[in-house]
Amino acid sequence: MPQALDRASEILALQAHVERAGCAWACAFSSSAEFEAAVIRSRRAAGVYRPRRNRRYVVCAAAAAGMLVLAVLMII
């Protein structure tokens, strides 16, 4: 009888080790798209990607100044 209990406890211990080993190799992300989104989110938080709004304002201001110069040249 004690051997049966030892075997049962060994089997339960082995199953617990298998479950823990499976969790250790599991990925925290369910898909590659989710992983890529997390990478981009962390890079943005680190400041790798600068906001593009500033560039748009500069381009719009340059275009407006160019149109103003063109209008002045057409009047003269």
Q: Which tens digit of pLDDT belongs to each residue from 26-39?
A: 677 778 888 899 99
What pLDDT band is residue 53 in, cutting at 50, 70 and 90? low
What pLDDT band is residue 20 in, cutting at 50, 70 and 90? confident
Q: Does the pLDDT at position 66 exceed 90?
A: yes
Contacts 24+ apart (CB under 8 A), 4-8: none
What pLDDT band is residue 7 in, cutting at 50, 70 and 90? confident
What pTM did the predictor assign? 0.36
